[in-house]
Chains A and B, each alone.
Chain A
Amino acid sequence: MIDSKELIVSGTDVGTECVKVVVVDRAHKILGRAVVPTRGYFQDCIQEATGVALEEAQLPATALKAMCVTGFGASCAPVASLTVSETACHARGAFEHFRRPMTVVDIGGRDPKVIDVDAAGRTRSVHSVRKCAVGIGTFLMFAARHLDVHPTRLMDLAATAEKPARVGSYCSIFAEVEVIDLLKSGVGAGEIALGCMHSIAERILEMGGLKDPVVVTGGVCEYFPGVLGALAERSGFAVELAPEPIMSGAVGAAHFALDSVSQAR
């Protein structure tokens, strides 16, 4: 059992597909974590995920000295001592592990980001996707439904294909319509699934700003590593996955929470 007088903080990433929470100690050790699907009100999901992470850490909520929140629904967090942008949190989450200059590509449920991180871990530039190409998570869920597999099986399906079907990257809705057109034309489900991964990789490339080496964070590649392969294949760069990529934003947020407590002291 951890002493609740220890310096314990949490990092929360409130995404459109999942709410992620980590509870960490002063040595940045993760004591508890939770990933809860986003549904209904963000506030309820944040509360649920925080409860699960604290339960795993065997700590009461009162043990948290700081709570840093990031992500799309960050403003909905009922109690937060700190709010930091997604870009800063993903960059920090990746940098604390790799400790080198890199391009961090955050591919989450909504809008991906290409973040140029320097040798000191500072963000140098951020590129975002245009409005009509957002909704990566929703697009993959749509594809899974029409390919008649559970979303967690979409990757297995893609792995059966030798080459991807052509699925456009310009607009998420156009791409969804193309998935249905491809099915109607009798194209193999595996090829379509792999084509969806390539569609996402192309959206990333179209954003600009990609430089070697590339580190991918965010939930999409946690569940759909085919996107990582497609990105490496299409960019020609070395593309690595951050450890537990879905948690990168929450881990980065936890680092900011620790900073804030240290600075306050």
Chain B
Amino acid sequence: MAAENRKTTSAGARLQSSERLKEVMAAHFAAILEAQRAKTAPVAWCTSVGPVELLRALGFEVYFPENHGAMLGASRIANEVMSQAHARGYSPEICSYLTSDIGAHLAGKTPLAKYGFTDVPKADVLLFNTNQCREVRDWFEFYGREWNVPVVGVTSFRGLDEVAAHHVDAVVRQLEALIPTLESVAATKLSAGRLEAAVRLSKECSDLWRDCLHTAATRPAAITFFDSTIQMGPAVVLRGTAAACDYYRVLKEELEARVAAHRGAVDAEAFRLYWDGMPVWGKLRELATLFASLRVSVVASTYCNSWVFDALDPNAPLASMARASLELFIARAERPKQRYLERMAQEFQVDGFVFHDARTCPHNSNTRFGMPQRLAAATRLPVLTLDGDLNDLRCYSEEQARTNIEGFVEQLEDRGPL
């Protein structure tokens, strides 16, 4: 039986690459700011797993509002401003990225102020893909109306068992149909060579990011989920650029050095967990510290792996972009999702699963159709469900989460042969 006082330690070992990460992210925002101020390039908004390669090939500076949503959550500005969106008819029950981003715009507040912005950057076009949820389109249409600019995108398939050729074809046709509008806004023609180059860089970024994440498969894990949620920035906002690849080479080297030195992200790692669902952005540090104090490494997650696009192929740009967007975990049915989670549990040698049921993000919450129970039965690993939200901290109880996590770790300690 568990019987010891637990000492609080830090949130884990700090990555030296983080200083470089700050520079990379600052340069990304500086480029958007410059494009907006000096009109050096058109500015596009793109959903985080949208067809960014088209925009790169056409010379857009690309802004990703979900990144802003995460920053609003992490800085806790979200809870100060989302009521302004609620007051305009955007329900507290819908995506709190959307409500906090629109609320921040209405309130004139943004964590991008440290990069010189006074508001979110004004787009010349907004490009969505509903492979993750319908909310992204509603979100972009708010700004489309606000700025009177085109909102275009892909209305994708969701809940797919297997990705079939006809699904891919349908998305390819939609991607092709986007091109005239994007060319018109960019005032240039799409070059096949530039599209191939963008897809090649996206694939390279994806492979490097996967390698970085995979350093957590060793014992002790070189990186935790909590670090990865920060380190994934370039994979989200700079996919299709050399800058992202350059950064992940640096990070990969540091992580591989940790693996070689048997140095873990968490001191004296005792247990390894898998995280499914969104981060609780406003409690990232607290959760990282709590897990580290319990000598638990959260070694892998569905969320951070969502920017690994194995299907990308520069030899078949549009078809591979379409396939990559459809193969994403979030776009799949319960059976392939479960198979994926089982495979990840084996690959990362986890002792249990933590599911985050994010109140305002049903699409990223895999707790509501019996998945935790089926997964526990199939893997014989214990499962913990935490209620919370990505940004709306009213949906999260720190005390309830803490007692549940502590109890879960005691359960792992007591666990005998099943």
Measured CB to CB, the residues of A under 8 A from B are 68, 72, 80-88, 92, 111, 113, 118, 120-128, 130-131, 134, 208, 256, 259-260, 263
Interface string of B375-388 (1 = CB under 8 A from A): 01000001111010
- Residues from chain B with a CB closer than 8 A to the CB of A122 are 1, 411, 414-416
- Residues from chain B with a CB closer than 8 A to the CB of A123 are 407, 410-411, 414
Minimum distance in angstroms from A170 CB to a CB of chain B: 13
The yes or no answer to B396 lying at the interface (CB within 8 A) is yes
Please give me the 8 A-B residue pairs with the lowest Cβ-Cβ distance, nearest first: A87-B407, A85-B407, A122-B414, A123-B411, A256-B3, A85-B406, A131-B397, A88-B410
The yes or no answer to B303 lying at the interface (CB within 8 A) is no
Residues A72 and B399 in contact in the complex (CB < 8 Å), given A120-B416, A130-B387: yes
How far is B408's CA from A85's CA once the two chains are assembled, in angstroms?
9
- Whether B373 and A208, one on each chain, are in contact in the complex, defined by CB atoms closer than 8 angstroms, is yes
- Residues from chain B with a CB closer than 8 A to the CB of A263 are 3
- Residues from chain B with a CB closer than 8 A to the CB of A83 are 5-6
- Whether A125 and B382, one on each chain, are in contact in the complex, defined by CB atoms closer than 8 angstroms, is yes
- Residues from chain A with a CB closer than 8 A to the CB of B415 are 122
Residue of B at shortest CB range from A71? B403
18 residue pairs bridging A and B, Cβ less than 8 Å apart = A72-B399, A72-B403, A81-B5, A82-B3, A82-B5, A83-B5, A84-B2, A84-B3, A86-B407, A92-B1, A122-B416, A123-B411, A125-B376, A126-B407, A128-B404, A131-B396, A208-B373, A263-B3
- Residues from chain A with a CB closer than 8 A to the CB of B6 are 83
| Interface residue from A82, A111, A118 paired with B400 (Cβ < 8 Å) | A111
- Whether B416 and A87, one on each chain, are in contact in the complex, defined by CB atoms closer than 8 angstroms, is no
Number of interface residues of B (CB under 8 A): 28
- Whether A131 and B407, one on each chain, are in contact in the complex, defined by CB atoms closer than 8 angstroms, is no
The yes or no answer to B177 lying at the interface (CB within 8 A) is no
Residues A134 and B3 in contact in the complex (CB < 8 Å), given A123-B411, A123-B414, A125-B382: no
| Interface residue from A72, A88, A126, A127 paired with B2 (Cβ < 8 Å) | A88
Report whether over half of chain A's contact residues are helix, strand or loop; otherwise say mixed.
mixed
How far is B404's CA from A72's CA once the two chains are assembled, in angstroms?
11
- Residues from chain A with a CB closer than 8 A to the CB of B146 are none
| Interface residue from A72, A121, A125 paired with B1 (Cβ < 8 Å) | A121
- Residues from chain A with a CB closer than 8 A to the CB of B176 are none
The yes or no answer to B4 lying at the interface (CB within 8 A) is yes
- Residues from chain A with a CB closer than 8 A to the CB of B387 are 128, 130-131
- Whether B404 and A82, one on each chain, are in contact in the complex, defined by CB atoms closer than 8 angstroms, is no
- Residues from chain A with a CB closer than 8 A to the CB of B411 are 87, 122-126
- Residues from chain A with a CB closer than 8 A to the CB of B3 are 68, 82, 84, 256, 259-260, 263
How far is B388's CA from A128's CA once the two chains are assembled, in angstroms?
13
- Whether A131 and B400, one on each chain, are in contact in the complex, defined by CB atoms closer than 8 angstroms, is yes
Residue of B at shortest CB range from A128? B404
- Whether B382 and A82, one on each chain, are in contact in the complex, defined by CB atoms closer than 8 angstroms, is no
- Residues from chain B with a CB closer than 8 A to the CB of A134 are 397, 400
Residue of B at shortest CB range from A70? B403
- Whether A88 and B5, one on each chain, are in contact in the complex, defined by CB atoms closer than 8 angstroms, is no
Most-contacted residue by chain A among B1, B2, B415, B416 (CB, 10 A): B1
- Residues from chain B with a CB closer than 8 A to the CB of A113 are 407
The yes or no answer to B395 lying at the interface (CB within 8 A) is yes
- Whether A86 and B373, one on each chain, are in contact in the complex, defined by CB atoms closer than 8 angstroms, is no
| Interface residue from A82, A87, A127 paired with B410 (Cβ < 8 Å) | A87
- Whether B410 and A84, one on each chain, are in contact in the complex, defined by CB atoms closer than 8 angstroms, is yes
- Residues from chain A with a CB closer than 8 A to the CB of B1 are 88, 92, 121-122, 256, 259
Residues A128 and B414 in contact in the complex (CB < 8 Å), given A82-B4, A84-B2, A256-B1: no
- Residues from chain A with a CB closer than 8 A to the CB of B406 are 85
- Residues from chain B with a CB closer than 8 A to the CB of A256 are 1-3
Residue of B at shortest CB range from A85? B407
Residue of A at shortest CB range from B395? A131
How far is B376's CA from A17's CA once the two chains are assembled, in angstroms?
34
- Residues from chain B with a CB closer than 8 A to the CB of A92 are 1
Interface string of B1-36 (1 = CB under 8 A from A): 111111000000000000000000000000000000
Residue of B at shortest CB range from A125? B382
How far is B410's CA from A52's CA once the two chains are assembled, in angstroms?
31
How far is B404's CA from A88's CA once the two chains are assembled, in angstroms?
11
Minimum distance in angstroms from A114 CB to a CB of chain B: 12
How far is B404's CA from A113's CA once the two chains are assembled, in angstroms?
10
